[in-house]
Each structure stands twice: as C-alpha cells, then as structure tokens.
Amino acid sequence: MYFVTGTDTDSGKTLVSSALLEAVNLRASQTGITCSTLGVKPIASGCEQTADGLRNSDALKLMMSSSVKLNYEQVNPFSFEPAIAPHVAAKQVGVTLSPERIIDSLDLAQFQLADFCLIEGAGGWRLPLGEGRFLSEMVQQLNLPVILVVGMKLGCLNHALLTQEALIADGLIIAGWVANRVDPNMSVFDENLATLKEEMRAPFLGCIPHLAEATGKNAAQYLDMSSLL
C-alpha cells in the first residue's frame, strides 16, 4: 500500500495515481499473473451534487482504473462541495477532520486484499485538517511508503526538495517520484529534470509529458513500475 502526495495542488496526483494503477493492470494482462489494484481518495473538495450524492471527479477516475470495485463511500468517505481547503469546507458543514477519524473511515482490511493499493492525498504533503492536525499524520500512523508527484513548472525544484525534506523528517520512506509536466511551456525543462534526478533520494519512476488527453491509460506507458512491484 502506498500514499501518493504532490508538490502542490494540481501537481497531477490523480493522473499519476491512475497511471500507476493502469500500468499494473496492463502488466497483469500481459503476463497473465493476477494482480488486483485499488485506488482511494479519503478526502476530496470540489465535489458535484448528483442524484447519488456528492461525487468527486478524481475519486471517480481512481475507481475506473481500479480492478477492485468498492462503493463510492468506501473510496471517498469525506467529500465536500466547495473547491476550497478541505478543513475549511468541513467546518462549514460541521464535520470534524482528524487523522484518526480518517483512518477509521477507511476499510483497511479490504485495501490489504488488493495486490497494489494507492491512497491519494489532497493538496500537498502538509495538508491541514484543522486544530493543528495534518493529513501527513495519518500517513505516519499507517507507516505508508510515499510516492511523490512533482508538478513540473516554475518553482518545482524548491517544492520538490522541501517536500522531500519533510517526508524524511517525518520518518517515512519515499518509494519513488514522478515528474509530471503540468506546464508545457516550462523553460529549461530538461535542466530542471536533471537537477531533480541529482537531488531526489528516491527511485525515479518516470516523466509524464504534457498530454493532449491526460488519462491514466495514456500516462501509464511513461512509468517504470519495477521498483514498486
């Protein structure tokens, strides 16, 4: 089981998470070896009201890429309509967030049945939950290895290295990192990527280019899963 975090909001966590799941699905179909996949997103803001209740597009994408099929509430137990910081959105509707409550909402027994399971975070690594608590505490309590998504744009070197420092300081293992080209016009892209390869202390899982159709299936071909499986 892995936790997926990003250098910032909109760094591409869901795209990379879906791509990781799709890459495992593809490998399983090519080798004939059964390998079940599951992606979940415990907290999501920016959800839409539907006939079935609040639904988040990121959580739905993870469900589509997962071979293990759970109901929506198991995948995204905390969903909020406003596209704002989750702890602020939660407060507006009288919901209290804490690392312990989030852990209690997760069907960890079901997650452990999957051969490859991802828990996608919200925002960046130090996402506030309110009252001085952070989502990163949940990852620490579960002692999950972390996959870091670096949104490749101006400022990403600082964000990536600071996030790496925080993860190491929190006592967690960085299982790998992915460069995701969110800005197709980023200057000196190759030089920035080379700097990250020198400075990051974890396996490089791949670089996803700016895709015309950014789907997990299209992005999966750019990932190297060998260090994760």
- Which pLDDT score is estimated for 113? 87
From the list 41, 61, 69, 197, the catalytic residue is: 41
- Which pLDDT score is estimated for 123? 94
- Which pLDDT score is estimated for 35? 94
| Domain 2-40+58-66+98-220 class, CATH top level | alpha beta
Q: What is the pLDDT along the chain (229 residues), one digit of tens a residue?
A: 999 999 999 999 999 999 999 999 999 999 888 899 999 999 999 999 999 999 999 999 999 999 999 999 999 999 999 999 999 999 999 999 999 999 999 999 888 889 999 999 999 999 999 999 999 999 999 999 999 999 999 999 999 999 999 999 999 999 999 999 999 999 999 999 999 999 999 999 999 999 999 999 999 999 999 999 8
Token duo for residue 113? 């049945």
Domain boundaries, the chain: 2-40+58-66+98-220
Instruction: Give dist(CA 96, CA 32) in Å, integer.
Output: 45
- Which pLDDT score is estimated for 229? 87
Instruction: Give dist(CA 103, CA 136) in Å, integer.
Output: 12
Triad 109, 110, 115: Cα angle to 5°: 105
Three-state secondary structure of 93-138: CCCCCCHHHHHHHCCHHHHHHCCEEEEEEEEECCCEEECCEEHHHH
In the residue annotation, 197 being an active-site residue is answered as no
- Which pLDDT score is estimated for 112? 85
Enumerate the β-bridge partners of residue 116. Answer: 37
Q: CB 6: neighbour CB atoms within 10 A?
A: 29
- Which pLDDT score is estimated for 110? 84
